[in-house]
Structure 1
Amino acid sequence: MDFERLGAFYMGKEYDLTERRLLDRLVMYDSRDLTTHAVCIGMTRSGKTGLCISLLEEAAIDGIPAIIIDPKGDIANLLLCFPDLAAADFLPWINPDDARRKGLSPDAFAAEQAAAWRAGLASWGQDGARIRMLRDAADITIYTPGSDAGI
């Protein structure tokens, strides 16, 4: 899939609602249609965070800067990008209770998560190389006034 074009944001693939399956047609967004400010508002579980993270990742890859005010802290997940998709990268971020409920050790659960991420990304035509491209293109800093987390 060829979606690495400057100024064209890769947003995913078309989905056939009738057949309930992904199509091989890419959904691209022309970044020239963006303005300098944005607000994303919607109902719970409507896809706001996923949309914003996709837009921000694509902007970062294209060298477009962003300042994000995120009261809930969801967008901080931009920092959780592991180019090697290795279990050891996921281990500090897994919930040990989730591992225990599945009857797995934290290491085994982290390996399962890493494999799921590799497979999920591959289904969208992405891989660790694209994550590395994002990581190399972006300087992400989280400012947390009044807290000892972040800067």
Structure 2
Amino acid sequence: MATNIFVNLPTNDLERSKAFYAALGTSLNPQFTDDNAACIVWDDNVFFMVLRREFFATFTDKPIGDPAVSVQASTAFSCDSREEVDRIIEAGLAAGGAEPRPAQDLGFMYSRDLDDPDGNSLGFLYMAPEAVEVGPEAYMDDHGQDVA
């Protein structure tokens, strides 16, 4: 049985969020989209439920944090290349996102962070396939570098 992942994110502007995630190359599932929420389809098993803050609050008794000032979670996505990481980040920046810190290049892994217009944190990374197989330390040893 495949597991589906639903990441629930609060938003102050549902239409802006839908446009932002569309710019990253996602699609929308209209069956689970209305005036309160949008179901953003990342792939066959990963979905973002972008929920108006007031609606998001109906799912919990805890206060809803403001992602513009504090990080509660960071969702990271693996990519097939460094170029794909850069392409997604550039699309997100053009669609109103922000890059909160410089890219990290650890030799075996390249990553960049992207905050959506509400401040929800996303990460995009490429890891060398050999590093996935043998681990970062062995990969770096084979390439004459230290693991950061």
Give the structure-1-normalised TM-score. Answer: 0.26
From the two aligned structures, give the one with the greater helix fraction.
Answer: 1
